[in-house]
Amino acid sequence: MLTHLECTRCGEHYSADRPQTVCPKDGGILYARYDLPKVKRAFSAARLAGRAPTMWRYDAVLPEANPVSLGEGFTPMLPSREFPNVYIKDEGLNPTGSFKARGLAACVTMARHFGLKKLAIPSAGNAAGALAAYSAVAGLEAHIFMPQDVPMANRIECDYYGAHVTLVDGLISDCARKVAELKESESWKKEGWFDVTTTKEPYRVEGKKTMGYEVAEQLGWRMPQGIIYPTGGGVGLLGMWKAFEEMEVLGWIGSERPKMITVQAAGCAPIVKAWEEGKQSAEMWTNASTLASGLRVPKPYGDYLILDILKKSQGTAVSATDEEIVAATRDWAKNEGIFAAPEGAACLVAYRKLRASGFFKPQDTVVLFNTGTGLKYLDVLDAAQAPSRAKPAQSTKPATRQIAGIIGPY
């Protein structure tokens, strides 16, 4: 029961009947809006029981289109063995091994629905793999621009999925510039190209919001006191907050909200810096460097929404060094049996800090998001741990050069 798209800056309404990017007036992110009172009359939370355990169980609050699906979503909510009242939402069990599956499943679903042919994405790694996989399912072309030192798994999976990969000497912001250049080309309009950059189309947020529905459903429609979320582009944070607002209108939850916590890597922490300085938007982080490649986002496009959510929810923003992240990855593996993505393990660092500071009490229910599987970071984690390697943890360039000859040319 999608009715229209709405600008998150100026509130202007736009048609949901054709592909849209951002607000033409002010560049604001567009949110999909539904006739929620009508959904409320037609559908209740009780009717979710017995539905397929994928994110499409919430199709009452998703666009009406034939899903491009690999079974994404409804990932386990695992009680921590180390901390009572802490849950680990394990997104590593998604298709393509990360939470990116949700956003890209929704995005590619709508791209196919609108008859688009070629999808372009700048990616820090896991979004690229997800776009490549869902494009393969939908029979669309995926054109991927990612840093040349992304984890090896991201390059290899994109290659196998049949995507067109361009490795860029730089960060995701440099990759975004490549996509912007492509938009100026003659072929862009003629050949059905579309830019699926994080928050620059409205449906990746819709896929990611299902994490918010799942947190509520899996906790028996109770809100936790806190959610700790590794924030690169921040789409999941935006999506979950949107889900909570929708669920309140639907009568599935009340007005209570969890404190939303952003965790970023100390080597790239634009949101943490802006939060500490009380700003409403982030500045471009210079010389971004961290082995948690998904957190190497120097300036998220949705910064103004992320900071607003941290404020409204009485949350906070915390940073974690690469050393802390690697140690936490090992701790989670040993103590919980979860081999997490470094981005996910950063949540454990943040939780420990927030417990030490008294921000969270032992009795608070807190959900930590493991956004991906550690199996996609084998080269990165190996380089970080191998004592014989003198180079710093984030230096994965030698491995990049070795493998390039095998799976190239790009």
In the complex, the residues that contact Zn ion under the rule CB under 5 A are 7, 9-10, 12, 23, 25-26, 28
Bridge partners (DSSP) listed for residue 259: 226
From CA 319, how far away is CA 263, in angstroms rounded? 5
The distance of closest approach from Cβ of residue 6 to Zn ion in the complex, given in angstroms and rounded to an integer, is 9
User: Which one, 28 or 298, has the nearer CB to Zn ion?
Assistant: 28
Mark out the alpha helices in 81-201 (DSSP H runs). Answer: 100-113, 126-138, 152-160, 172-183, 187-190
CB atoms within 10 A of CB 174: 14
Q: Using DSSP bridges, classify how beta strands 77-79 and 30-34 pair: parallel, antiparallel or unpaired.
A: unpaired
The distance of closest approach from Cβ of residue 48 to Zn ion in the complex, given in angstroms and rounded to an integer, is 34
Q: Which of 203, 224, 200, 194 is nearest to 55 (CA)?
A: 203
The distance of closest approach from Cβ of residue 301 to Zn ion in the complex, given in angstroms and rounded to an integer, is 14
Residue 69: both structure tokens together: 């699906």
The distance of closest approach from Cβ of residue 170 to Zn ion in the complex, given in angstroms and rounded to an integer, is 30
User: Which one, 308 or 331, has the nearer CB to Zn ion?
Assistant: 308
User: Which one, 26 or 276, has the nearer CB to Zn ion?
Assistant: 26
User: Residues 296, 300, 304, CA angle at the centre, nearest 5°?
Assistant: 145
From CA 409, how far away is CA 201, in angstroms rounded? 30
CB atoms within 10 A of CB 283: 13
Phi and psi (nearest 5°) for 366? -130, 135
Q: Within the chain, how many helices (H) and strands (E) appear?
A: 14, 13
DSSP 293-345: GGG--SS-TTHHHHHHHHHHTT-EEEEE-HHHHHHHHHHHHHHHS--B-HHHH
User: Which one, 4 or 9, has the nearer CB to Zn ion?
Assistant: 9
H or E element in which residue 6 lies: strand 2-7
The distance of closest approach from Cβ of residue 134 to Zn ion in the complex, given in angstroms and rounded to an integer, is 28
Residue 158: both structure tokens together: 């994109």
User: Which one, 23 or 165, has the nearer CB to Zn ion?
Assistant: 23
CB atoms within 10 A of CB 151: 28
Q: Evaluate the omega torsion of the peptide bond into residue 147 and state whether it is cis, within 30 degrees of 0.
A: no
The distance of closest approach from Cβ of residue 108 to Zn ion in the complex, given in angstroms and rounded to an integer, is 25
User: Which one, 19 or 192, has the nearer CB to Zn ion?
Assistant: 19
The distance of closest approach from Cβ of residue 14 to Zn ion in the complex, given in angstroms and rounded to an integer, is 9
User: Which one, 12 or 308, has the nearer CB to Zn ion?
Assistant: 12
The distance of closest approach from Cβ of residue 11 to Zn ion in the complex, given in angstroms and rounded to an integer, is 7
The distance of closest approach from Cβ of residue 31 to Zn ion in the complex, given in angstroms and rounded to an integer, is 11
User: Which one, 29 or 348, has the nearer CB to Zn ion?
Assistant: 29
* Per-residue exposure over 270-279, b if at least 16 CB sit within 10 Å of its own CB, e if not: bbbebbeeee
C-alpha distances out from residue 311 to 179, 197, 211, 258, 280, Å: 32, 25, 20, 12, 10
Residue 134: both structure tokens together: 């869902």
User: Which one, 9 or 311, has the nearer CB to Zn ion?
Assistant: 9
User: Which one, 8 or 54, has the nearer CB to Zn ion?
Assistant: 8
The distance of closest approach from Cβ of residue 305 to Zn ion in the complex, given in angstroms and rounded to an integer, is 13
The distance of closest approach from Cβ of residue 77 to Zn ion in the complex, given in angstroms and rounded to an integer, is 36
User: Which one, 23 or 140, has the nearer CB to Zn ion?
Assistant: 23
